[in-house]
Amino acid sequence: MIALPGGRRRWRFHVCALMLLVPIGFAPGYFQRLDLEGGAVGLGEREIGVLRLGRWKARLAELDLGPPVIEGAAGPIKTFTLALEGAAIDEVRAAYAKIGEPRSIRSAGALFAGAPYRQMAGVAAPETATGDSELWLTFEGWDGSIEQTSLPLADASPSTVAWLAGRRRR
Amino acid sequence: MAHAPSSRRLWFVAHSWLGLPIWGFLFFVCLTGSIATISQEIMWLVDPATRANPPSADARPLGYDEVMARIAEQRPGARLHEMTQPVKPEFALIVEAATPDGETRTFFVNPYDGTIQGEQGWFDFRAFIRALHGWLLTPFDGGYAIGWYAVSALSIPLMGSLVTGIVVHKKFWRLYLRPRLRLSKGRRVFWGDLHRLVAVWSIPFIAIMSTTALWFLIEAILYANAVTVAPVRPPLVIAREAAPNVARSEAPPEPSIDAAIAAIRAKHPDFAPGYIEAPESAYGHVTVYGRGAYPLIFEEAKVNPYSNEVAQSRMVSDRTALELVTESMRPLHVGDFAGLWLKLVYFLFGVLLTGLVFSGMMIWAKRTAGATRALVRDIRVAGPFPEPAE
Amino acid sequence: MTRAPIVGLVAALTGTTPALADYPFCLCRKQADAIVCRAGFSDGETAEGAALEVVADDGTTLSRMRFGADSTLSFKPPTGGYYVLFDAGPGLSLEIDPRDIR
């Protein structure tokens, strides 16, 4: 079917309006993403809870509720955010996260990057991980001391567990 | 399909209608691109906080560490993410810092006294117009945004229109020698002359825009396939053993931006810092980008914040010829490498190109609408309305 | 999230943070009686200079190698229990379990 132009002016307007629809459709997501990355909406879309590692305290969140993002050959990556609290702000030199228990400090996993108030790490999600797999957090102090804790992946990121299970079924 | 004599015409008209979004799209991209060229200057005009006024005639800019100390006085606990030193001295420093509430804020800071003159609100005009022009606000998830591909793919029709335009008007160069703008021969002749004149003077600009945009398309495709122009060294991090141990009662070490820049300048005296990134972790470096003798290329140096030694640098001389070409594409596209005058030249030609696209769109639209009307009229005359072609 | 230089620059100059970052990978497979590993980063960087270690289950390092420009290394697997450690520095390391090497 050929749509007949109703009038020269009107359809010209429609052409321009049509093109404007594309970015308008993406605009809410764009601003949402900026708020998420800038911390305007809090630590992340889903707060996981408060972690205690020895004398240190921190809050952990999923940056977004979505499933992991595939980063080329590195495979699926899930981003977590961390806020060091109290004494940990000045005492913790580095924080790491890994799915599965690290065998040494050298393989503690992804390094949280950013200011102590809000730092992010993209954690590799192994294809074999399930809800029973553990997310291990390793904190390393400026004095060289090391503290660790872990929580089930089902608590840390239900969306990652569901997504990995869906991939295995296929 | 051969049964109706008008079926080929029908297909031609349908095909023409399919081309419709391209023109509207190209128009939109040219318009937003023109605005993006001078977005920084627009902000300067609109928001006094983005200007850098010296408090007195003999005032000298503070060092970066001193600026950060002043910011810490005004916003206790603020931690630097990155700092932009605009090329033009009339612009305030743009400092992105994390505040203890966990938010990332952008401050406009007077370089002479370290005063936070203003704060970027939730709407960043400059970033928005660039995102609108460059990738239609589509998200970057594990690769370049889909909009990046869509926009940069416009380089193909743009380059095509340039080449076909030159082929159609083979003797275009004559217009440089003898510009022709007939005012007394009626409106059609006048607009035709004006269109050709503007087009001919825009040839170099259109060539630059389409070539650089085509590179952006290639760049994204290469990235998606993990292909790099030259082998890229692994990301640089400080070894765990090289970070100092600090007793619990002592404050952790704080990086000095001034010391980092001094270390770079000791090796590369004409290095001018333009953009500074604070270490992202205890194992990260102070990264400074700047321009050296060759203004098109951003040079980069990473400095160990504990030893203040340059750990890695990528200067103009470190690049291969191919890298020099590919890395010149972006500054050539945006025209931000020579000062305000060049930005205004880019803006002027951007507006001219937007106008060219608009007039092209109008010519095309009239023609297609006319062809459509003629087609429908002919079908009506010939008999009952046929089934639409599949 | 450590951004690659080019990507960092894009982010800097465009004023946004495209979520592009470097994530390490190390893919190992059996080839005859050796294990061949190819490593790199999601942004296309090579693994040149990064370490690959074969570590026994008790934590002792059995062998330590460095990747060259081709980002590929091969080694003979030990007889006892072990794992492979890819190490390009803090946050850029991976453990490869022999069960995942086919």
Give me the CATH number covering residue C70.
Answer: 2.60.40.1930
pLDDT of residue B360: 72
| B56 has pLDDT over 50 | yes
Residue of A nearest to C19 (CA): A37
Between chains, do A107 and C41 touch, taking CB under 8 Å as contact? Answer: no
pLDDT above 50: residue A135: yes
Whether A22 and A52 share a structural domain: no
- In tens, the pLDDT along A60-95 reads 999 999 999 998 899 999 999 999 999 999 999 999
Which residues in chain B have their CB less than 8 angstroms from residue A20's CB?
A: 28
Give B349-383 pLDDT, tens digit per residue: 999 999 888 877 776 777 777 777 887 777 766 54
- Quick one: pLDDT at residue B95? 96
Tell me whether residue C10 is in a domain. Answer: no
Residues of A in contact with C81 (CB under 8 A): none
Checking if the pLDDT of B285 tops 90, the result is yes
B166: number of Cβ within 10 Å: 15
Q: Are residues A111 and A95 in the same domain?
A: yes
Total domains in chain A come to: 2
Per-residue pLDDT at C52 exceeds 90 = yes
> By percentage, how much of chain B surpasses pLDDT 70?
92
CB contact under 8 A, B231 and C48: yes
Q: According to the model, what pLDDT value does residue B233 have? A: 86
Closest CA in chain C for residue B289: C9
Cβ contact, residue pair A96, C91, below 8 Å: yes
- Among A4, A9, A15, most B C-beta atoms within 10 A, so best to mutate, is A15
* H/E stretch holding C93: strand C93-96
Closest residue, chain B, to C18 (C-alpha): B140
CATH number of domain containing A148 = 2.60.40
B384 burial (CB, 10 Å; 0-12 / 13-18 / 19+) is exposed
**Are residues A53 and A18 located together in one domain of the fold?**
no
Residue A56 and residue A101 in one domain = yes
Tokens 């970070």 identify what position? B243
Q: Residue with structure tokens 């090391």?
A: A146
Contact A94 C90 (CB under 8 A): yes
Determine the pLDDT at residue A12.
Answer: 57
B232–C45 CB contact, under 8 Å: yes
Contact criterion met (CB < 8 Å) for C91 and A124: no
Whether C20 is in a domain gets the answer no
pLDDT digits (tens, 9 = 90+) for B95-131: 999 999 999 999 999 999 999 999 997 788 998 999 9
Are A7 and A77 within one domain?
Answer: no
Query: What percent of chain B stands above pLDDT 90?
Result: 56
| Tokens matching residue C46 | 């090579």
Pairwise CA distance, residues B38 & B5, whole Å: 53
C83 vs chain B: nearest CA distance in angstroms?
21
Contact state of C12 with B84 under an 8 Å Cβ cutoff: yes
Sheet (strand C61-66) strand order: C61-66, C51-56, C82-87, C93-96
**Total residues belonging to chain A:** 170
Q: Is C18 on the interface with A (CB under 8 A)?
A: no
Asked whether the predicted pLDDT for residue A105 surpasses 60, the reply is yes
- Does residue C29 fall inside a structural domain? yes
Average pLDDT, integer, range C80-88: 96
The answer to whether the Cβ–Cβ distance between B127 and C14 falls below 8 Å is yes
Strands (E) in chain B, as ranges, are: 79-84, 93-98, 104-109, 116-119, 272-277, 286-291, 298-303, 310-314
- A69 and A14: one domain? no
Looking at the fold, whether A5 and A65 belong to one and the same domain comes out as: no
| Residues in chain B closer than 8 A to A29 (CB atoms) | 137, 139
Q: In this complex, which of A15, A22, A77 lies closest to B136 when CB atoms are compared? A: A22
Q: How confident is the model at residue B2, as a pLDDT?
A: 43
Residue C90 forms part of a structural domain: yes
- For residue C86, being part of any structural domain is answered with yes
In this structure, the answer to whether residues A36 and A106 fall within a common structural domain is no
Co-location of A54 and A14 in the same domain: no
Q: How many domains does chain C have?
A: 1
Range of A30's domain?
Answer: 1-41
In a domain, C42, yes or no: yes
Of the partner residues A34, A71, A103, the one whose CB lies closest to the CB of residue C83: A103
Number of CB pairs, chain B paired with chain C, less than 8 A apart: 101
pTM equals 0.86
Check residues C69 and C17 and name the one with the higher pLDDT: C69
Tell me: do A119 and A67 sit in the same domain.
yes
**Check: complex ipTM more than 0.85:** yes
Verify that A164 and A81 share a domain, yes or no.
Answer: yes
> Interface partners of B (3+ CB pairs, < 8 Å)?
A, C
Which domain, by its residues, includes C56? 25-100
Contact A69 C19 (CB under 8 A): yes
pLDDT digits (tens, 9 = 90+) for B254-276: 999 999 999 999 999 989 999 99
pLDDT for B6: 58
Give me the residue from C2, C12, C18 closest to B275, CB to CB. Answer: C12
Among candidates B139, B226, B330 on the partner chain, residue whose Cβ is nearest the Cβ of C44: B226
Cα gap A74→C4, rounded to integer Å: 15
Mean per-residue pLDDT over chain B, rounded = 87
Phi, psi of A57 (to 5 degrees): -130, 145
Return the pLDDT at A33.
Answer: 86
Specify if C17 maps to a domain.
Answer: no
- pLDDT tens, C16-34? 333 446 899 999 999 999 9
Chain A residues touching B13 at Cβ < 8 A: 2
Angle between helix axes A8-38 and B340-382 (nearest 10 degrees) is 130
Confidence of residue B10 (pLDDT cuts 50, 70, 90): confident
In a domain, C18, yes or no: no
What does the pLDDT average to over B26-39? 94
Residues A88, A111 within the same domain = yes
